[in-house]
């Protein structure tokens, strides 16, 4: 078995017992990145020399008996997590040469545990997209089929796991940006409850929706990674001060006594038949493991996409106003005054999708339209959240598809933004409700295209969610399948 085939948990055990060294493992990943990244366009910034230095430091820490759970583990980060001294582009020409002066909290926790940082990963520009085709540096390709999308916006975070170019990665999820690419690439993607992981040092798209989370090969690996990055942070005003459970201890092998809800609004006409069949088979496995299946309703689901694209674009309009060519990032100079410089800089720096969302959000916030659009969307958001709270009085978790189709072809939906937005129809409500969701591989469509099962948990119920997901993976082997590169 290649070193890059080992899971994070297996690597942790072998590094701790000194059966392997971090330098050995890191070299194996760097060789694989060198062999395959050019064809897949997963890494935007690579750190071969620095990663080996990180690995050497980790080995010294292990030799001294000071190893943390992620010490020596080669990881990669979505390129909107701020990293001190390391280029952070957000997939945008506007920040192509931006070198941050500090680490975000999640990154700091990884660095403090002596994890090895292999590099920064491709993504839709500023997190705005569902296919990774909106990256200013070209699309990330799906390792299972290079003519198909990896999903977005954390396409690189999911593709690097499918291609075995990192042991684990971090992404962010604003409307499905961890779970949807995880589904398309056959990885495990966890969107934690809003406030569970600090957003300090995350370049903001929609501040009330963004959340950092792990993308891994197994649910157990997600539990280990979440354990390190979760927790209260005074630097983030939206961080919640509540206890962090022992996530690995919450993993289980059966589902006796667990009530799994099936919301009727997620099993709809238009759902790809292979997705429907595969998710139904996964639900049968949950039933065989002892779960009680309960049919439930989330009645305001139909309004989620419209609600999301008002709130998210309004917040994007506000957040992206800071990119003006004055303080940092790209500046396009020329004749004229300050306003002309703003126009040139933003016009040349932002891609088409980012411009579209800024305009939508600015319109929704403008005088005379605020009450009709943004304020009404916030009221609908409250109704959607209440739907989930009501249902979780009846069940422990929900089971749904992650996406209505498997990964689609590059360029297939680029001319129709609405069809692209509907790719996240099953993931958006979780962000609006602020609760947690998990995508895990549950089968394949024709052409060996991965399909994901989504599990949705109660607010701060990541332990229960991981327990159900782990039980499913103990009974199946979909997560063990590998893309042939």
- CB-count burial class (<10 Å; 0-12, 13-18, 19+) for 270: exposed
Percent of the chain with pLDDT over 70: 100
Query: pLDDT averaged over the chain?
Result: 96
Q: Is 154 one of the annotated active-site residues of the chain?
A: no
Look at residues 281, 282, 269, 234 and name the one whose alpha carbon lies nearest to residue 469: 282
Which residue is catalytic, options 157, 177, 222, 423? 177
Residue 334 has pLDDT above 90, yes or no: no
Alpha carbon distance 159, 171 (integer Å): 11
- The mean pLDDT of 15-28, rounded to a whole number, is 97
The catalytic position among 9, 21, 22, 78 is 78
Q: Is 157 a catalytic residue?
A: no
Question: Running DSSP on this structure, what letter comes out for residue 407?
Answer: P
Q: Inform me whether the pLDDT recorded for 192 exceeds 90.
A: yes
For 268-283, what is the mean pLDDT?
A: 95
The question of whether 78 is a catalytic residue gets the answer yes
418 pLDDT more than 90? no
Within 10 A of 34 (CB to CB), how many other CB atoms are there?
A: 11
Sign of the CA dihedral running 64, 69, 72, 77: negative
Q: Strand (E) positions, 100-149?
A: 116-121, 141-142, 145-149
Write down the pLDDT at residue 367.
85
Average pLDDT over residues 117-129: 98
Number of Cβ within 10 Å of residue 334's Cβ equals 9
CA distance 30 to 4: 10
pLDDT in tens, 52-102: 999 999 999 999 999 899 999 999 999 999 999 999 999 999 999 999 999
To which residue do tokens 């409700």 refer? Answer: 433
Mean pLDDT of 272-283: 97
- Determine phi and psi for 42, rounding to 5 degrees: -90, -50
Which DSSP string corresponds to 303-337? GHHHHHHHHHHHHHHHHGGG-SSSSSS-----SS-
Q: What six digits make up the tokens of 161? A: 């796991």
Instruction: Tell me if 142 sits within 8 A of 185, measured CB to CB.
Output: yes
327: pLDDT confidence band, cut at 50, 70 and 90? confident
Torsional sign, CA 337, 342, 344, 345: positive
Domains defined along the chain, listed by start: 3-259+393-480 (3.90.1300.10), 302-379 (no CATH)
> Which one of the listed residues 153, 157, 183, 239 is annotated catalytic?
153
Confidence of residue 399 (pLDDT cuts 50, 70, 90): very high
Nearest in space to 242 (alpha carbons), one of 293, 286, 195: 195
State the pLDDT at residue 13: 95
Q: How far is CA 160 from CA 123, 153, 306, 420, in A?
A: 12, 14, 31, 23
Q: What is the mean pLDDT of residues 477-482?
A: 97
Average pLDDT over residues 424-428: 96
Question: What percent of the chain clears pLDDT 90, i.e. is strictly above it?
Answer: 92
Q: Which residues contact 309 (CB under 8 A, 6 or more apart)?
A: 360, 421
Average pLDDT over residues 13-26: 97
**Residue 476 has which token pair?**
């199946």
Q: Helix (H, G, I), strand (E, B), or coil: what is residue 342?
A: helix
Sheet containing 116-121: order of strands = 43-46, 116-121, 74-78, 168-172, 212-216, 188-191, 436-445, 449-457, 397-401, 259-263, 292-296
Work out the average pLDDT over 148-176: 98
What angle do the packed helices 219-229 and 462-475 form, to 10 degrees?
A: 160
Q: What is the pLDDT of residues 354-370, one digit of tens each?
A: 999 999 999 999 988 99
């Amino acid at each position: 078995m290649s070193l890059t085939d080992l899971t994070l948990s297996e690597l942790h055990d072998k590094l701790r017992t000194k059966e392997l060294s971090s330098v050995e493992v890191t070299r194996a990943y760097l060789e694989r990145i060198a062999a395959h990244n050019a064809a897949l366009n997963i890494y935007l910034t690579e750190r071969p020399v620095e990663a080996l230095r990180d690995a050497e430091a980790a080995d010294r820490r292990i030799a001294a008996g000071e190893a943390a759970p992620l010490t020596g583990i080669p990881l990669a980060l979505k390129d909107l997590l701020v990293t001190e001294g390391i280029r952070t582009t957000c997939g945008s020409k506007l920040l192509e040469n931006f070198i941050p002066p500090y680490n975000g909290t999640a990154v700091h926790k990884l660095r403090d545990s002596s994890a090895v940082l292999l590099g920064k990963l491709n993504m839709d520009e500023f997190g705005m997209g569902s296919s990774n085709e909106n990256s200013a540096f070209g699309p990330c390709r799906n390792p299972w089929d290079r003519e198909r999308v990896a999903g977005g916006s954390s396409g690189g975070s999911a593709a690097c796991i499918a291609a075995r170019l990192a042991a684990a990665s971090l992404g962010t999820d604003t409307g499905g940006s961890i779970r949807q690419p995880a589904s398309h690439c056959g990885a495990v993607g966890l969107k934690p409850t809003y406030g569970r992981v600090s957003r300090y040092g995350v370049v903001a798209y929609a501040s009330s929706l963004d959340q950092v989370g792990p993308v891994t090969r197994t649910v157990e690996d997600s539990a280990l990674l979440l354990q390190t990055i979760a927790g209260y942070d005074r630097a983030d005003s939206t961080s919640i001060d509540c206890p962090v459970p022992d996530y690995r201890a919450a993993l289980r092998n059966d589902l006796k006594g667990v009530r799994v809800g099936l919301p009727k609004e997620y099993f709809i006409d238009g759902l790809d038949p292979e997705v429907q069949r595969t998710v139904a088979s996964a639900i049968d496995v949950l039933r065989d493991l002892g779960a009680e299946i309960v049919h439930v309703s989330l009645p305001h689901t139909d309004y989620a996409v419209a609600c999301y694209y008002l709130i998210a674009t309004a917040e994007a309009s506000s957040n992206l106003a800071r990119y003006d060519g004055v303080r940092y990032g790209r500046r396009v100079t020329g004749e004229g005054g300050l306003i002309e410089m703003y126009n040139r800089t933003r016009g040349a720096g932002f891609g088409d999708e980012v411009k579209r969302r800024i305009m939508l959000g600015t319109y929704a916030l403008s005088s005379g339209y605020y009450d009709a659009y943004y304020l009404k969307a916030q009221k609908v958001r409250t109704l959607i959240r209440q739907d989930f709270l009501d249902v979780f009085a009846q069940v422990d978790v929900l089971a749904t598809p992650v996406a209505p189709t498997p990964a689609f072809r590059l360029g297939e939906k680029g001319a129709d933004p609405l069809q692209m937005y509907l790719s996240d129809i099953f993931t958006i409500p979780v962000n609006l409700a602020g609760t947690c969701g998990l995508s895990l591989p549950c089968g394949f469509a024709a052409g060996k295209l991965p399909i994901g099962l989504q599990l949705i948990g109660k607010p701060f119920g990541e332990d229960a969610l991981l327990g159900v997901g782990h039980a499913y993976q103990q009974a199946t082997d979909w997560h063990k399948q590998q893309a042939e590169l």
